[in-house]
Chains A and B, each alone.
Chain A
Amino acid sequence: MSKNGNGHKKYAPFFGCLISTKHSQFEAAVRRTMPKLGAELVDLEGFSCCPDPIYYKAADKLDWLTLAARNICIAEEAGLDLLTCCSGCTSTLREANHTLKHDAELRGKVNARLKIIGREFTGTIEVRNIAMIIRDDIGYDAVAASVTRPLENFRVAIHYGCHLLKPGAVMAVEDPAQPEILQRLLAAIGATPVWQTKHLSCCGTACQNEDMKTEIMRDNLAEFAALDVDAVGLICPTCFDQYDLGQLQISRKYQTKYEMPILYYFQMLGLAQGFTPEELGLQRHKVSAKPALAKLGLS
């Protein structure tokens, strides 16, 4: 973050591969809603994949740290904190930043490679997920103040996903066993967060065993469907794929038909701020968002 005299907040957004390509509706939602919270997004040039915290990290951790450090260097050179919108990018960039700030040996190895391209990791910025930035720099009250169309009587099953919160010592958002950040964000736009047994569960995407992945998804969806909710709310594009596209796969494999709208938090914030469903790309989802929009009187 960079603040000038009147408290103006500036961040370098890092949208990452999935949001900027397959799920650009989430990028649109973030770009439209953040200015209404008094935050300016300053686009920087040259970011690559974060890189991917599952398979890239699984191939070579030093390559993974080095490419992550290069992305962090770009923000350091601009003097801006990184704002991440994807839990995968959050995982990679926040962990890499933490590791390289605390482990001199690894920092030495990474900087020896970065020197080849004339860059250096100096540890001068923070990497934070957008939800954490809103809580800490902007405040839930400012979110509530930006709302022109509260999502009244709109019941949302929360899915935290793993990498906003864990590992707790590295991500340092709040206790991963008892988080409240998403409930507070939903309450700020007038929606009703609905507690359920799967709210902290893993979506299963990163598991290489396809049967296990599908079974995890099936059980989580069954839990959501058993609740009286209007949508599942989440903040991670990977979890989104697992539940949006995943519902079609589950319907085919188990002949259990689900029609559960899956919404990214910033799409819901955008609706509450008065943007149209089209401006937030809500017509793009595999599972129609129409029932949720109808509940809000928007279709």
Chain B
Amino acid sequence: MVKVSFAFKSTIDAMIGGAGHSLCFQCGACVGDCPAAQYSTRFNPRQIMLDAVLGLADRLVTEDSVVWECTNCDNCFDHCPQDVRPVEVILALKNMIHQAGLSPKNVAPLLHSVATTGCTVAVSELINRRRRELGLPELVRPPVDELQKLLGDKKS
């Protein structure tokens, strides 16, 4: 049975870029040029906006949520006549999924890497050697303590 969450609206409205969903009038302009909709059997930005409007949290804020199939191309941002910015609503939903501890496995290591080294890529000796061969300056790490102060208790 479909369960409507009445608290959902206030939660998503409070997320950065989340409130746009309530402007959606279901025209479907976001679908035609959406690469994810073209390649997926279940991804449809219009449907995601409708699910958000209806407060169907159980379909959106889940471990295998369809929102992760978004390719982040921003076509829907440009095509929407209502300025819903569906990609930003989808990112707000991802923020909610992450808060609930349900984001994909690759997210936590990336956050950890940035918080502890300032970089998403682990810098190896091979990388340094290739930079030297090309005559490039040595890589210098950013002051990681600054990043950790900014991130507070989320640093790991």
Contacts and interface: CB of A to CB of B under 8 A. Distances in A.
Interface string A162-197: 110011110000001000000000000000000000
A228 interface: no
Contact of B107 (A59, A167, A281, A284): A59
A162 B78 CA distance: 12
Interface string A45-58: 11111011111111
Interface stretch (A61-69, A144-152, A249-257, A288-296): A61-69
Contacts of A49: 114, 118-120
A284 B130 contact: yes
Contacts of A46: 142-143, 146
Contact of B72 (A31, A54, A59, A169): A54
Interface residues of A, number: 59
Interface string B128-156: 00110011110110110011011100100
Which of A53, A67, A168, A284 has the largest count of B CB atoms less than 10 A from its CB? A67
Contacts of A20: 119, 131, 139
Interface stretch (B20-28, B49-57, B63-71): B63-71
A117 B136 contact: no
B60 interface: no
A66 B115 CA distance: 13
A226 to B, nearest CB: 19
A206 to B, nearest CB: 4
A65 B151 CA distance: 11
B150 A114 contact: yes
A204 B35 contact: yes
B118 A24 contact: no
B149 A116 contact: yes
Given A28-B135, A48-B147, A62-B16, A57 B91 contact: yes
A251 B18 CA distance: 40
A63 B40 contact: no
Contacts of A24: 127, 130-131, 134, 136
Given A28-B136, A166-B74, A17 B119 contact: yes
Nearest to A54: B72
A57 B85 CA distance: 15
Nearest to B151: A63
A43 interface: yes
Contact of B70 (A31, A43, A52, A206): A206
Nearest to A58: B94
Interface stretch (A122-130, A133-141, A207-215, A258-266): A207-215
A18 interface: yes
B35 A17 contact: no
Interface in A17-39: 17-18, 20-22, 24-25, 27-28, 31
Contacts of B154: 60, 63
B77 A167 contact: yes
Contact of A60 (B73, B75, B95, B134): B95
A216 interface: yes
B111 interface: yes
Contacts of B40: 209, 212
Given A21-B139, A51-B114, A279-B134, 9 more contacts: A28-B135, A55-B106, A55-B107, A57-B91, A61-B16, A116-B150, A117-B150, A162-B73, A162-B75
Interface of B: 15-17, 35-36, 39-40, 68-75, 77-78, 85, 91-92, 94-95, 98-99, 103-104, 106-107, 110-111, 114, 118-121, 123, 127, 130-131, 134-137, 139-140, 142-143, 146-147, 149-151, 154
27 contacts: A17-B119, A21-B119, A21-B127, A24-B134, A25-B134, A31-B136, A43-B137, A58-B95, A58-B103, A61-B15, A61-B16, A62-B16, A67-B114, A70-B150, A106-B16, A162-B75, A166-B75, A166-B78, A169-B77, A204-B39, A207-B68, A212-B36, A212-B69, A215-B39, A216-B39, A279-B134, A284-B130
